[in-house]
A and B are shown apart, each in its own frame.
Chain A
């Protein structure tokens, strides 16, 4: 292994086109605003009957928050990690322990902190655990680091089984404490407020909470990528020796990337707990909420989205996390995959095919992932952007914004 992870493409966004200027930016802002309005109105659009689709959308946001964290680590800082599910587990258990009702039972540790504090605490906890792994991560590169990080998934499985005073154990797990903000509970209530005739109950409230989490994650990550932190990540990724000679403290930067990525995963873990209403460690390492399958799924999110691209991770999450759930709903509602029963193609199998194939196709034909495709589409419309982007190069190396 003589190289670090070098993503073939990276700019998180199309670089600003110096001359096309105001008009284009305006268009982009309008498009983004329209998207946010649609997301805000989603509970109304699907109605109270479409809660299943709201669950699906929530699930995508879990993937997006986790995926953003991983794309920073793998794409921006060049550290391959398959440990993401472990940090999700730490986040979920951390939230349950911090916010759990101490009275709930004598055998479970619950500190009874306000849920918001517990969420922040769980995120910080994940960051610290990530920091603890940083000395190992700092010594290893590329695939060696990838496989080493895999050991955390196995460790998580074992810890989840053994430390049942925290995790609730694999048999029944423990309740995920209801999220609450300034006395407003993210649970069903009677009467419920309504928007355009749609009752805003637990799932609708969770949607808005998740949306807030996801938007915060998105902008924080974009901010980090465009700041000095992001530049130091890319310097270390591209050439450690050169980065050192430029005065970058390589060890610290690598550790920092691990901490930040773990923190995002921790938030995704809290969201998973709220989504499932349950914190429960997996029974085995292949399938489950915090399993190897999830590790691969997150990696697929960042590859398909384009290594290092924050918006790409969101699109990747929509494909990887959304598709399976969408197929499942379709199979239920429209009778797709009706022959799944005995060795036919089930929704799970088909969605695995789709994202497996997407990984292969992306690396074969468009190593920059969806982010690069998006960039090309926008730059085709505006020749100025293209030249700013470095002429006709398809895989620009610089990560400016």
Chain B
């Protein structure tokens, strides 16, 4: 099914690519064509002047992911401040234009045309449903965007710049870690509760692959993002004798599953990926049950001892003293770092047009964010740029609520996994 729509979409992309050859970059109304040579002989079209490069954020600071969204926006801005203080890129200052869509696809659809003519690309595009709704626009406008969602199902669009690894790989590596720790054995039954959607579906792909490699049986349960009481599902999983519960859920659902895990006397380890945890859970009645949660994420946890992470989080706490502490900050900063690499490469190639930055992305084979995420390689289209994850466990005493228990690593299963649009 997912591959289904993708196949159609690939055709759309192919069509769009050929038409962009004719159109060069264009707005949704295509009344401008071709790039013009700007300062320093660099070709530019949308969102770039002789003195500035404008990037867009379509984020969420009023909807269900507002805590994460605020962290991401702050991380993006911290990066822009750093770059500008160091003299900018290509002789130009970075400006960021922010749109809040409140995690609603229809709202994003209205606001996009207002933002589109002002920006070169998107430094952050939050939300799987929003990304799905805007994808035809992004393709048509030849826009490069860094999504704040990590599904490998969107990698057929070369305009998507994945920051870190994808949900399926987070789960594969996480399960491998649990097995290494002796918490899971070949032939066991595991439960997987997932939100029906790009996010959950992609996570499920990961456990399906791992299950196939190790003869596991999966007890699947599909939920929507607003089902907050998972007690019934965990009751059923207890009946099925699961050894591990995997979650691709919202933080609230994570709390419910963990509370039920403890209350029903099941007490198995629970594996979640990046978005399943929010430090705010430590202030809920479920706080006492969270200890069983392992979080597998491609970015360093807030409290990571990694020096770059420490530097970013320290500056965040100074600049935004009252804001929530979550991994969005380092993720947002990383998005900026990757953009920085793209812009520098595009500048070197003398083409800061939309088409130019997209081409520049594919030339990057080693984007180093000093360990905020693994080293990123964008040269093979369709494949996630990295496969490495951090594993963290819930710890109320750690800032951001997570304590790193395993530094960046990639499991053999993670290496052998073929992502949906990976070529070869």
Chain A residues close to B by CB (< 8 Å): 48-49, 51-52, 55-56, 59, 101, 104-108, 157, 161, 164-165, 168-175, 188, 190, 192, 199, 201-204, 275-278, 280, 283-287, 289, 325, 328-329, 331-333, 340-342, 346, 348
Contacts and interface: CB of A to CB of B under 8 A. Distances in A.
A277 B137 contact: yes
B257 interface: no
Across the A-B interface, give the 10 residue pairs with the lowest CB-CB distance, nearest first: A105-B4, A107-B4, A104-B8, A284-B226, A52-B114, A51-B113, A284-B224, A105-B7, A48-B29, A201-B29
Contact of A190 (B22, B132, B133): B22
B8 A171 contact: no
Contact of A169 (B1, B27, B99, B136): B1
A338 to B, nearest CB: 10
Interface in B179-226: 195-198, 200-201, 222, 224-226
A331 B100 CA distance: 9
B196 A333 contact: no
Contacts of B27: 48
A275 B109 contact: yes
29 contacts: A48-B27, A48-B31, A49-B117, A51-B113, A52-B110, A104-B5, A105-B6, A161-B222, A169-B2, A169-B5, A171-B1, A172-B198, A174-B4, A204-B29, A276-B105, A276-B133, A280-B133, A283-B197, A284-B226, A285-B224, A285-B226, A329-B111, A332-B99, A332-B114, A340-B61, A340-B100, A342-B66, A346-B62, A348-B104
Interface in B1-20: 1-9, 11-12, 19
Contacts of A325: 107, 110
A328 B226 contact: no
Residue among B31, B105, B117 with most chain A CB within 10 A:
B31
B404 interface: no
B378 to A, nearest CB: 22
Contact of A171 (B7, B29, B153): B153
A171 B30 contact: no
Interface string B92-110: 0000000110101111011
Interface residues of B: mostly helix, strand, loop or mixed?
helix
Contact of B197 (A59, A171, A276): A171
A283 B29 CA distance: 31
Given A52-B110, A190-B30, A203-B29, A173 B222 contact: no
A286 B63 CA distance: 13
A171 B4 CA distance: 12
Nearest to B128: A171
B29 A188 contact: yes
Contact of B66 (A108, A175, A284, A341): A341
Contacts of A287: 104
A172 B110 contact: no
Contacts of B6: 105, 172
B115 interface: yes
Interface string B34-78: 000000000000000000000000000110001000100000000
B200 to A, nearest CB: 8
Contacts of A204: 29
B28 interface: yes
Nearest to A325: B110
B140 interface: yes
Contacts of B381: none
Given A278-B133, A348-B104, 15 more contacts: A51-B29, A51-B113, A52-B113, A55-B109, A104-B4, A104-B11, A107-B3, A164-B1, A171-B132, A171-B198, A172-B198, A174-B4, A174-B8, A283-B226, A342-B66
B196 A172 contact: no
Contacts of B117: 49
A101 B19 CA distance: 20
Contacts of B129: 280, 283
B59 to A, nearest CB: 10
A341 B1 contact: no
A283 B4 contact: no
A325 B128 CA distance: 21
Contact of A105 (B5, B137, B197, B226): B5
Nearest to B28: A51
Given A168-B5, A188-B29, A348 B62 contact: yes
B4 A289 contact: no
Contacts of A51: 28-29, 113-114
Given A52-B113, A171-B153, A278 B31 contact: no
Nearest to A191: B30
A202 to B, nearest CB: 7
Contacts of A333: 114
Given A172-B153, A188-B30, A328 B1 contact: no
B364 interface: no
A156 to B, nearest CB: 13
Contact of B133 (A169, A174, A277): A277
Nearest to A280: B132
Contacts of B375: none
A278 B136 contact: yes
Nearest to A349: B62
Interface in B125-139: 128-129, 132-133, 136-137
A280 B12 CA distance: 17
B23 interface: yes
B28 A203 contact: yes
A157 B196 CA distance: 12
Contact of A276 (B11, B12, B99, B109): B109
Contacts of B227: 284
A286 B226 contact: yes
B8 A101 contact: yes
Contacts of A101: 8
B104 A105 contact: no
Contacts of B99: 332
B105 to A, nearest CB: 7
A340 B62 contact: yes
